[in-house]
Each structure stands twice: as C-alpha cells, then as structure tokens.
Amino acid sequence: MAQAAASAAQSAAPSLSLPPSQFARLQPHAYLLAHLSPPPATNQPSIRANGRAPSQFRVTSANTGSLTHTNGSAVVRLGDTTAVCGVRAEILHTEDIASWSVSRSTESSSAPTNKRRKLTDPTTKPNERIDSKDEDDNESHIQDFNLLVPNLSLSTGCAPGFIPGAPPSTLAQSLSHQILTLLHSTRLVRAEDLRIWYQPPNLGPEDLECHNENEQMDVDASQEDEKNKEIKAFWVLYIDVMIVSLAGNPFDAAWAAVLAALRDTKLPRAWWDVDNEMVVCSDAVSEARKLTLRGLPVSSSFCVFEADAASGWRAVVIPDAEEEKELDDSARKGNQRRWILADPDGYEEGLTQERICVVVDKEQGGKGKTVIQKLEKVGGWTADAKELKALVDISAQRWEDVRRILNEQC
C-alpha cells in the first residue's frame, strides 16, 4: 500500500509542466497575452483568461430592500465584486443652515416670477413643464447644502491589499468623490423630493371670496398659497457603500448599487408641526413616497491591455497619431497589438494602466438617443476617438442590460 503511494509520487514528481494557476501567478502578462492571442494553427478564439470575450461584462445581479433599517438599500453583484449600499434619510432643519436666510432672500425674488410664467403659459406640454421646473434655481440646494452624502468603504477585508479597519485608502476616497460628482452632474435626485414644506393656513378674508370664482381667480389663489409656502427642513440622504468583496471594477458595482438603492428609497411623509415647532413624520407606510429620479445613468468601465509588457518605458518609437489612425486593428502585429477589455477583474486591472469609464443614459426611458454623462480616459494613449466611439456603443448596450436587471427588482 505504502509502496504503491511512493511509486505514484515518484512518477508525478519529475513532471516539469506547470499547472495554469501557477503560470498565471508567475507570468501574469504572458498568461493573459497567450489567452488573447492563441496561435493561429489551433483555431481557438481570442478569449480572456477569465473566459469572457473582450467586450463581455460579468454576470450582474441586483437585490434591493435587503436592509430593513435603511430607507432604501441594494446589493449589487458584478461577478465577484459585491457592493452593498444603504440610503438613510435624516432631517436637516433650515434654521440649522447658517447661510439659509441669505440664500432664501435671493431666491424669493426670482421664484414667484418663475411660477407665474409657468402658470400663465398653457401651451407648454407637460413634459416641458417638468423640464422648466428642473431648471429652477432651487436645484442648487442639493449641492449648496450638501443634501447628498455618499461614502464608500473598502476597509471590509474585501481584498488582500486592503487592511480591515484601516483609514480610508486613496482609492476609497477617490471613489466616494466620483460618486458624489456623478450624483451632482447627472442631477439624479430632485431637490423637490428632499424638501419639507410648511403651508400656513390661509386665514385671510380674501380666501372666502375667491372660493366660487372663475378659474383665473383660482390660479391667483394658488399662487398666493405658493408664496406663503415655506421650506422648513430638508431630507439629507446618507448613501453608504460597502464593497464587501473586491475583484476589480469597484466603481461600476458601487454606482449600480447607489442607483438601485436610490430607486428603492422611500421617504416618509413629513410636515412641520407649528404647535411643537418641529418636523413630524407619518408612520403610515402607505403615505411614504419614492424618490423620482432623473433618468438612469449606467456606468461601464474598460481597460486597455497592451501586448508589449514594457510599452511604458522601453525606448520604442511611438508612431504619430496620424499614422496610427491608418493602422487597422487587424493590421497590428507583435507588440503593437492591444485589446480593450470590458469590466476588468482584479487580475486584469493589475496588468493594465489605461482606464476608460463611460456613463451613459438614454432619453425617454430607452427610446431616445444616447446621452453621455461622463467620459473619462486616463493612463495611456491607446484609445482615441474611434475606440471611444465603439465603447460608447458598447455602453449603450450595457445600459439596456442594467436597466432590465434593475427593473426586475422594482
């Protein structure tokens, strides 16, 4: 018995071939390159080491409403990268905002004229009216009073490089910032959803007069009400993202989680109680309302893998951009070849420097044209206008997939 085992070990020992997993660790660049450029004789397709095609994203799944103590939450899985996002709403009284009285005096002069224009122009379509409301100068409330507070945490033991409990790494900080700027620049959350109003009871005698008058008078009365209406507080949304497991591409996962969580967020009905001088919220779930988000911006990230491992430092002659334009992808040979990989995993991220992030949205719920909300490219000179155009098209397809995945939840 023991002899048999010993002879088996002896026959296995002299083998000099390495299992693929060891080759991947020892020569990561050559390993990925061998997958992407198989010898022409074998007739194998060019495929990434993780089995995906270059423009294929990982399997994505979303699950909303898992955390009961939040106003909205979501878990998004992008392959092995998992992001948990919770949105918690807290009340910010306007009297606690130092600059409130200053900013209100400037806005009260312009706001009524805005409203009057809207009311007296019956020809505008309902859609446009919403748009003109969007252009309200009050939209700056979100940015001025910091009503959206996203934070991303990587100190969860998500990957070996990140020590649990350590202060936020540079990556975590820049991801938090990216989420915040994207929330601001896409104007995803409407400021109107976050306002808590106080409507003082109309006790004046003119109220009785215009009760049974014609429509024009009615409009005047509502205008009068609008004037007396007062913002007493704001909802502040604390958006916390925990990357539970990190295997590359944290931004796409985090942004998808933020998006799914905001779609899931319900705010209780809140009003100003004059007698107690405080904001009171309703217990009833039926009275809580969801946020009405503007569009559905979906982010897709890409990286560029270059065949030449030393392209960054070896003194090679880099061709002019003009010459390179004429060079087709199929005509590239040897070290000039490169591949643009969608949704890179951790292994691929370690081998690439050039990153591209595209955030797209489609007008009118997917029927309109593609709108780019963010286009970021840094760390190399491979992707030029032609490549970026192709990536925008891929991102538009990805938008459809993500919308389907998110809609299955809600």
Interacting span for another protein (CB under 8 A) from 82-90, 241-249, 318-326, 337-345: 318-326
Smallest gap from Cβ 120 to another protein, in A, equals 23
Angle between helices 100-120 and 215-228 (to 10 degrees): 170
Cβ atoms within 10 Å of 260's Cβ, excluding its own: 26
Among 273, 376, 400, 401, binds another protein (CB under 8 A): 376
Count the helix, strand and coil residues of the chain and give each as a percent rounded to the nearest 5.
45, 25, 35
Nearer to another protein, 268 or 379 (CB): 379
Task: By CB under 8 A, tell whether 361 contacts another protein.
Answer: yes
CA angle 277, 283, 409 (to 5 degrees): 130
Cβ contact 76:97 at 8 Å: no
Smallest gap from Cβ 356 to another protein, in A, equals 9
> Which residues, at least 6 apart from 245, have a Cβ–Cβ distance to it below 8 Å?
80, 81, 82, 158, 159
Cβ contact 61:77 at 8 Å: yes
Nearer to another protein, 208 or 385 (CB): 385
Strands 148-153 and 230-245 come out as parallel
Compute the distance between CA of residue 348 and CA of residue 366 in angstroms, rounded to an integer. Answer: 31
Compute the distance between CA of residue 387 and CA of residue 398 in angstroms, rounded to an integer. Answer: 16
Task: By CB under 8 A, tell whether 61 contacts another protein.
Answer: no
User: Half-sphere exposure (CA, 13 Å, Cβ side) for 354?
Assistant: 18
Task: By CB under 8 A, tell whether 372 contacts another protein.
Answer: yes
Nearer to another protein, 33 or 358 (CB): 358
Among 337, 371, 403, 409, binds another protein (CB under 8 A): 371
Nearer to another protein, 73 or 178 (CB): 178
Task: By CB under 8 A, tell whether 143 contacts another protein.
Answer: yes
Interacting span for another protein (CB under 8 A) from 89-97, 108-116, 273-281, 383-391: 383-391
CA 267: distance to chain centroid? 21
Task: By CB under 8 A, tell whether 320 contacts another protein.
Answer: yes
Task: By CB under 8 A, tell whether 364 contacts another protein.
Answer: no
- Would you give the binding string for another protein spanning residues 99-138, x where CB under 8 A is met? ----------------------------------------
Smallest gap from Cβ 368 to another protein, in A, equals 11
Task: By CB under 8 A, tell whether 353 contacts another protein.
Answer: yes
Distances in whole angstroms, Cα of residue 139 to Cα of each of 91, 107, 192, 193: 18, 11, 8, 11
| Binding residues among 246-305 for another protein as defined by CB under 8 A | none
Strands 370-378 and 354-362 come out as antiparallel
Distances in whole angstroms, Cα of residue 254 to Cα of each of 144, 152, 267, 317: 24, 8, 22, 39
Quote the tokens at residue 297.
């911006």
- Would you give the binding string for another protein spanning residues 165-194, x where CB under 8 A is met? -----xx-xx-xxx-xxxxxxx--------
Quote the tokens at residue 145.
């009073």
**Residue 295: left (phi > 0), alpha (psi -120 to 50), or beta?**
left
| Binding residues among 296-315 for another protein as defined by CB under 8 A | 312-313, 315
At which residue do the structure tokens 């994505």 appear?
60
Q: How many residues bind another protein (CB under 8 A)?
A: 48
Surface-to-core class of residue 19, CB atoms within 10 Å of its CB (0-12 exposed, 13-18 middle, 19+ buried): exposed
Smallest gap from Cβ 375 to another protein, in A, equals 4
Interacting span for another protein (CB under 8 A) from 84-92, 220-228, 231-239, 350-358: 350-358
Task: By CB under 8 A, tell whether 163 contacts another protein.
Answer: no
Task: By CB under 8 A, tell whether 355 contacts another protein.
Answer: yes
Task: By CB under 8 A, tell whether 378 contacts another protein.
Answer: yes
**Residue 366: left (phi > 0), alpha (psi -120 to 50), or beta?**
left
At which residue do the structure tokens 């939840």 appear?
409
Smallest gap from Cβ 337 to another protein, in A, equals 17
Task: By CB under 8 A, tell whether 243 contacts another protein.
Answer: no
Smallest gap from Cβ 13 to another protein, in A, equals 32
Binding-site ranges for another protein (CB under 8 A): 143, 146, 170-171, 173-174, 176-178, 180-186, 312-313, 315, 318-322, 324, 353-355, 361, 369-381, 383-385, 388-389, 392
